[in-house]
Amino acid sequence: MNLLYNLGIRILVLAIRLASFSKPKAKKWIEGRKGLMKKIKNDLHDVQNVVWIHCASLGEFEQGRPLIEEIKLRFPQKKILLTFYSPSGYEVQKDYPKADFVYYMPADTARNARRFIHYVKPEAAFFIKYEYWYNYLRLLHKNAIPSYFVSAIFRKDQLFFKKRGGWYRKMLKYPTHFFVQNEETAKLLKSLGKENFTIAGDTRFDRVAHILENVKPIKLVESFVGGSDVMVAGSSWKAEEAIIHQYIRNRSNLKIILVPHVIEAENIQRILNLYGSRAILFSEATPKNVSDKQVLIVDNYGMLTSLYQYGKIAFIGGGFGVGIHNVLEAAIFGMPILFGPNHEKFAEAVDLVNQNCAFPVHNIEDFNTIVNYLLNDSRVVFSIAEKAAEYVRKNVGATRIILDQVF
């Protein structure tokens, strides 16, 4: 099975290489790894006290960020090495100032893992949420380097818990400790005979609490908002954008701050064409030309978390695809949250639905009913906002639990 896994990794790299001729994201994945191992070797020469933190992409980075910042605060002598699997994480955070080194993660071949660990010599490794890479985990274990999973979450439909998942279960013997999000994950680990876990919660709660404490006003957005009610569409895809378009065709009393998940020229132009003259790009907006627009399309990365401060309602993207994006960033600012039906894998979304703070929508009819109800009853919105914010506040503290135990 090890042979098949390593062959599968090589086939994956080959497939991405072929896709790179037509797909910009795949091209970045390949180009970002050219000469990477040599660069790591040169950069890390004689560097000590390295803590390696690995994130799949931008969402996992937001979970790892509180950990990084608290490590730097408590232990300024430690060097943070941050790696990403995906270009959407690396390209946005390659200049992140709290990390001493930021790289793409070399593909998980046995040779790459051996060289990477030899050059970096980490004193500890943290994997955020669910990045299970066999060769890296095995070699960390073999070299007696402690490895930890942070904000880990398991589901019973994963291969680890199926009859044919024996080889995948073998990977779970390598991590030193799992810091899990909830009791359900703890029970699943127990079912495999694992006791090396702590129910610490989700570090994203710490991250969004920090965002709220440090949020700053954005003058241009205030010019756009004026005194209007605002819906913030966070990490939107085509499905959410189409629903919003249908909703506002005959309504001018709701303004939309739309932050697409894909910030590429072709996609931004598609969205601009969809909304027509009632929309404007953030990059082209000025205090004078933005105030009479109904849709502000944010064509850059990094602003979404600050934009939720202007929302009366949030519409989170991804729920008509593989799964919703971060709902906590909206919840901490206190507002009702809508998303598509594919949210069941996200514990915080399920919690908010159960508390009547969040509302799954399946189509434009659902959307119309819920949004109209919310906009017509400010007392309901206020009550929901209070409950959503309190839910986040009650769940902060995972970062402290993790670092107190590890260090």
Write down the pLDDT at residue 202: 95
What pTM did the predictor assign? 0.86
Write down the pLDDT at residue 21: 93
Write down the pLDDT at residue 54: 98
User: What is the C-alpha separation between 181 and 397, in angstroms, rounded?
Assistant: 12
| Eight-class DSSP state of 160 | G
Q: What is the pLDDT of residues 178-233, one digit of tens each?
A: 999 999 999 999 999 999 999 999 999 999 999 999 999 999 999 999 999 999 99
- What confidence tier does 160 reach under pLDDT thresholds 50, 70, 90? very high
- What confidence tier does 347 reach under pLDDT thresholds 50, 70, 90? confident
Write down the pLDDT at residue 301: 85
Write down the pLDDT at residue 331: 96
User: What is the C-alpha separation between 233 and 371, in angstroms, rounded?
Assistant: 13
Q: What is the pLDDT of residues 225-263, one digit of tens each?
A: 999 999 999 999 999 999 999 999 988 889 999 999 999
pLDDT at 90 over 90: yes
With vertex at residue 19, the alpha carbon angle to CA 15 and CA 22, rounded to the nearest 5 degrees, is: 170
2-201 matches 217-393 in fold: yes
pLDDT at 53 over 90: yes
C-beta neighbour count of 332 within 10 angstroms: 27
Q: Which residues contact 62 (CB under 8 A, 6 or more apart)?
A: 204, 207, 326
Fold of 2-201: Rossmann fold (3.40.50)
Write down the pLDDT at residue 147: 98
pLDDT at 334 over 90: yes
Write down the pLDDT at residue 271: 98
- What confidence tier does 124 reach under pLDDT thresholds 50, 70, 90? very high
Write down the pLDDT at residue 404: 97
* Residue 154 main-chain phi, psi, to 5 deg: -120, 155
Q: What is the pLDDT of residues 18-52, one digit of tens each?
A: 999 999 899 999 999 999 999 999 999 999 999 99
SS3 readout for 60-127: HHHHHHHHHHHHHHHCCCCEEEEEECCHHHHHHHCCCCCCCEEEECCCCCHHHHHHHHHHHCCCEEEE
* Residue 121 main-chain phi, psi, to 5 deg: 50, 60
| 54 three-state secondary structure | strand
Query: Domain segments of the chain: what residues?
Result: 2-201, 217-393
CATH value of 217-393 in 3.90.1010.20, 3.30.2020.30, 3.40.50.2020, 3.40.50.2000: 3.40.50.2000
